Chain A
Amino acid sequence: MDKPRLFIELKQEQHLELLKRMYQIRFFEEAAGRYYRKGMVKGGIHASIGQEAVAVGICAHLRTNDLITSTHRGHGHHIAKGADLNKLMAEILGKEEGYCKGRGGSMHVAAFDIGSLGAFPVVAAGVPSAVGAGLSIRLHKDDRIAVSFFGDGALGQGTIYECMNIAAIWKLPVVFVCENNRFAVSTDCSTSIAIEDFAKMAESHGLKAYQVDGQDLEKVHYTMFRAVDYLKAEEQPVFIQADTFRFEGHYFGEPEVNRDKDQIRQMRESQDPIERFVFWLQDRYEDDIIERIDQVKQSAFDEIESACGFAENGSDPAPETYAEYIYA
């Protein structure tokens, strides 16, 4: 797909497309939250409300056959990568029509047809798979890249450092994206991770590192643009620290004992990535953009509504099929 890769050079439709993606994520997560509150979803839902810009900005540079690994907070990554909203919502509700035929649920969504190797809820467990994907790409000698999303909490896991090490010495085309929302469940990362400067840490592991304000879509988009260029030119893995903010609890219903309610309110008001992008668009384009924005918003809303309808009408996996899909 040939399109300008620099954010500033994108056309209006392309900007609106990115906005739509962000709205899709927002409305999807809100719908999932409603299902949760209605008791229609068992298990936990980890919403990425507030982190839309990171997923959308990063995935904007990925083709269908580029690969990502995701986490328990993975709906946004999948939507940004181009997942089918119907199948994604159906999976949240545990239906046979879902991406994983109801066997994975919210925490284990995957969409191999659009390049997602899956959500790995064991913290940092997906990163090695991204490295392995990079290895396959290297062996296959093509120009794909692999992106691994993880949070600040994952920096407590040794495997992160091992993976950076392996990617660096084998020169694998892997982008390590740390969505730093500063909290791992209830733990402020300043109390559990001694590293103050993640980017510097990554560089000392042999990666080229960037740090970016994750609430600013333009900046995220631009950072990823530079990172991918660097990776391809230098054959060196890269690390992006995206500072962001999670508006909901770790999961819907989390008591949030360590998060300041006022601060959350303030963040929602001043740091909403969608709102900031809307301002950016209004700034950049003529007044009639407002109408288009509304249309995009409505369109995203409708698509999510439709996905909800699809999912709610789905069927539970037949009881006798419990043992299918164990072995290939």
Chain B
Amino acid sequence: MPENGSRKLTYMLAIREALQEEMRADPHVLIMGEDLARHGGGFGVTKELWEEFGSDRVRNTPISENSFVGAALGAAMTGSRPVVELMFMDFAMVAMDQICNEAAKVRYMYGGQAQAPLVIRCPQGGLSWKSAAAQHSQSLEAWFVHIPGLKVVFPSNAYDAKGLLKSAIRDNNPVVFIEHKALYGIEDLVPAEEYLVPFGKGKVVRPGNDVTVIASGYMVHFAQEAASRLEEKGIEVEILDPRTLKPLDEELFYQSIKKTHRAVIVQEANKNAGLGMDWCARIQENCFDWLDAPISVLAGEDVPIPYASSIENQIYVSTSDIVRAVKEVCYG
């Protein structure tokens, strides 16, 4: 954690600061998306940027996700460094051809002639952003991790959000930058001096010896809550936050599990074909001889996210679920 020159900043402001700093440093960086200018984007992240950088570099687009992501790709291939905002991760589905067929593959298909330094910001998730229902609350990181040629990051706190976004903008590859809406208002210490968070490096959020809990995004906070509760029961939980989903810091997982012999994976996304199962299989491949219990994967239910809170609450993993799962793998 950073020391001097740090101040408390919300996740949202940290993202804005990253955009601002990179746009100041490099005139080729521009942002585009719906309502980015005076309105400040779907959630207010890009407020004040239009006032500073003007309409050339803060571009409101029509509601044409596939086309404006494709246009961002074209711009990226021709010297610009666009950061696209999709108002909701759910709308990425409209742009899948441009993200997954085109942007991800131009470099490879064209034998290295092209590069696409493109960032696509995707606010995702339900939970605190309650009652947005089925098409505005999804967690779709697995879709993009599955496509070769993309990089995917998912910060869980303001410090990582700023550092990862700056790294994403400087990366010469297409990056899907996932933000969790519920985290926008959550504060953390963020240094004032320039720093970057590298891709492909996870973090030990909390050290422990008894069990490894791996979580991403908003789930990291739930894991921390669960860990506090478990501490009282004498179970020391080690929490890992991969931060970059692709490329994944697998070694961090293995090192931890070889120490604790137990793993619980926590995700907000639907369990089926989600990243949790991918990580579970990797851990099984590499840490089989160190495991004392089956790997536990906690994930969302296989249900479109409902509107009414009474049933929406049923779908996601809760702190109690995590506590229970940890106890189970500890046979206690």
- List the interface of chain A (C-beta within 8 A of B): 67, 69, 98-104, 108, 110-113, 117-118, 120, 122, 125, 127-140, 146, 158-159, 162-163, 165-166, 169-170, 324-328
Complex alpha-carbon distance, A272 and B61, angstroms: 43
3 cross-chain pairs, A with B, having the tightest CB-CB distances, nearest first:
A132-B74, A128-B70, A129-B74
25 contacts between A and B (CB under 8 A): A98-B111, A99-B113, A101-B112, A104-B109, A108-B109, A108-B110, A110-B109, A112-B113, A112-B114, A117-B78, A118-B106, A122-B101, A125-B70, A129-B73, A135-B75, A135-B80, A139-B30, A140-B79, A159-B66, A159-B67, A159-B70, A166-B71, A324-B112, A326-B149, A328-B173
The interface residues of chain B lying within 8 Å CB-to-CB of A102 are 111
Interface residues of B in 71-129 (CB under 8 A from A): 71-80, 82, 97-98, 101-102, 106-117
Shortest CB-to-CB span from B61 to chain A, Å, is: 7
With A100-B109, A108-B110, A325-B107 as given contacts, are A117 and B77 in contact (CB-CB < 8 Å)? Answer: yes
Task: Pick from B68, B70, B148, B172 the residue with the most CB of A within 10 Å.
Answer: B70
A133 with B57: CB separation less than 8 A:
no
B114 with A117: CB separation less than 8 A:
yes
Cβ-neighbour of A104 out of B110, B116, B172, B173 (below 8 A): B110
Shortest CB-to-CB span from A148 to chain B, Å, is: 9
Chain B residue nearest to A172 in the complex (CB): B71
Chain A residue nearest to B98 in the complex (CB): A128
B173 with A129: CB separation less than 8 A:
no
Other A-B contacts than A128-B73, A131-B71, A326-B148, 20 sampled, CB-CB below 8 A, are A98-B111, A100-B110, A100-B113, A103-B110, A110-B111, A110-B113, A110-B114, A112-B110, A128-B67, A131-B70, A132-B75, A136-B80, A139-B57, A140-B79, A158-B66, A163-B71, A165-B64, A166-B64, A169-B62, A327-B151
The interface residues of chain B lying within 8 Å CB-to-CB of A104 are 109-111
Query: Counting CB contacts under 8 A, is B18 at the interface?
Result: no
Chain B residue nearest to A324 in the complex (CB): B112
| Chain B residue total in the interface (Cβ 8 A) | 45
Task: Pick from B28, B102, B111, B149 the residue with the most CB of A within 10 Å.
Answer: B111
Shortest CB-to-CB span from A185 to chain B, Å, is: 19
B75 with A101: CB separation less than 8 A:
no
Complex alpha-carbon distance, A126 and B71, angstroms: 9
The interface residues of chain B lying within 8 Å CB-to-CB of A328 are 107, 115-117, 172-173
The interface residues of chain A lying within 8 Å CB-to-CB of B30 are 139
- List the interface of chain B (C-beta within 8 A of A): 28, 30, 56-57, 59, 61-62, 64, 66-80, 82, 97-98, 101-102, 106-117, 148-149, 151, 172-173
The interface residues of chain B lying within 8 Å CB-to-CB of A133 are 74-75, 77-78
Complex alpha-carbon distance, A6 and B98, angstroms: 38
The interface residues of chain B lying within 8 Å CB-to-CB of A100 are 109-111, 113
A99 with B111: CB separation less than 8 A:
yes
Shortest CB-to-CB span from B184 to chain A, Å, is: 28
A125 with B98: CB separation less than 8 A:
yes
Complex alpha-carbon distance, A144 and B107, angstroms: 23
B102 with A166: CB separation less than 8 A:
no
Shortest CB-to-CB span from B54 to chain A, Å, is: 11
B111 with A129: CB separation less than 8 A:
no
The interface residues of chain B lying within 8 Å CB-to-CB of A324 are 112
The interface residues of chain A lying within 8 Å CB-to-CB of B114 are 110, 112, 117-118
Complex alpha-carbon distance, A111 and B109, angstroms: 12
Chain A residue nearest to B78 in the complex (CB): A136
Shortest CB-to-CB span from B77 to chain A, Å, is: 6
Complex alpha-carbon distance, A127 and B73, angstroms: 11
The interface residues of chain B lying within 8 Å CB-to-CB of A122 are 97, 101-102
A130 with B74: CB separation less than 8 A:
yes
A166 with B68: CB separation less than 8 A:
yes
The interface residues of chain A lying within 8 Å CB-to-CB of B110 are 99-100, 103-104, 108, 110, 112, 118
Chain A residue nearest to B32 in the complex (CB): A135
Complex alpha-carbon distance, A111 and B151, angstroms: 25
The interface residues of chain A lying within 8 Å CB-to-CB of B149 are 326-327
Complex alpha-carbon distance, A67 and B112, angstroms: 18
Task: Pick from A67, A118, A146, A158 the residue with the most CB of B within 10 Å.
Answer: A118
B56 with A139: CB separation less than 8 A:
yes
With A118-B114, A132-B72, A133-B74 as given contacts, are A163 and B67 in contact (CB-CB < 8 Å)? Answer: yes
Complex alpha-carbon distance, A66 and B151, angstroms: 30
The interface residues of chain A lying within 8 Å CB-to-CB of B102 are 120, 122, 125, 129
A128 with B69: CB separation less than 8 A:
yes
The interface residues of chain B lying within 8 Å CB-to-CB of A138 are 56
Complex alpha-carbon distance, A227 and B172, angstroms: 35
The interface residues of chain A lying within 8 Å CB-to-CB of B116 are 328
Complex alpha-carbon distance, A117 and B77, angstroms: 8
B111 with A132: CB separation less than 8 A:
no
With A101-B112, A122-B102, A139-B56 as given contacts, are A166 and B67 in contact (CB-CB < 8 Å)? Answer: yes
The interface residues of chain B lying within 8 Å CB-to-CB of A118 are 106, 109-110, 113-114
Complex alpha-carbon distance, A146 and B28, angstroms: 19
The interface residues of chain B lying within 8 Å CB-to-CB of A139 are 28, 30, 56-57, 75, 80
The interface residues of chain A lying within 8 Å CB-to-CB of B80 are 132, 135-136, 139
